[in-house]
Amino acid sequence: MRYEIERQKGGESGFTKIATLNGTSTTFQTHHYQFTDSSLTIGSAQYRIRQLLDTSAAGFTAFYIDTLSVSAALGCTPIPASDKGVQIIPNPVRNSFSLKIQSEAILDLQLVVVNSIGQAAYTEHTSKPSGVAVFSIGTVNLAPGVYYLMLFNGGKRFATKPFIKL
């Protein structure tokens, strides 16, 4: 017996197999399996689990046992150490904050603000010339709490900054 994990990213028309987990032959006991999709980026995805049973003479019998929808903001991963050129001013914030970014390269930026449970509350896509750039980010529509600003360049995260909304 084995399990296949399939993923359909938002905007894709079909599912793609991304992992295979070997199962045990005992199906009457509880078994725990774990899989981490390290290639998922910002966005939504659906996963489904396909169980394949070896029925020997007839070959494999396959059926889907579960489907799960996920909205990934990547807010629950460690804060990288490479965000020294990024500042949120002021912090804590009220209605808006200034985001100051200093880099030696031109950046294709995606800004994502997630709440403390990883739900995306704000996204913006922009470009930034080399040197210092300052962006104004409105927070009027955010409830009071802890948030994380994540910055992506070309789809890869390079900085995460926590902030408090009053």
| pLDDT value at 48 more than 90 | no
pLDDT digits (tens, 9 = 90+) for 76-113: 444 444 566 889 999 999 999 999 988 777 778 888 89
Same domain, 11 and 68: yes
- Distance, in Å, from the CA atom of 2 to the CA atom of 53, rounded to the nearest integer, reads 7
* Inside any domain, residue 134: yes
Same domain, 59 and 112: no
- End of a domain among 12, 42, 72? 72
pLDDT digits (tens, 9 = 90+) for 131-153: 888 889 999 999 999 898 988 88
Where do we find the tokens 């739900």? 119
- End of a domain among 72, 103, 127? 72
Amino acid 83: pLDDT: 62
154/114: higher pLDDT: 114
Question: What range does the domain containing 148 cover?
Answer: 86-165
Same domain, 57 and 105: no
Same domain, 101 and 159: yes
The Cα-based distances of 116 to 44, 100, 119, 123, 165 in angstroms read 18, 22, 8, 16, 11
Which two tokens mark 87?
């500042």
| pLDDT value at 35 more than 70 | yes
Same domain, 159 and 97: yes
pLDDT digits (tens, 9 = 90+) for 66-79: 666 655 554 444 44
- End of a domain among 41, 72, 103? 72
The Cα-based distances of 36 to 87, 112, 122, 123, 160 in angstroms read 31, 22, 25, 24, 21
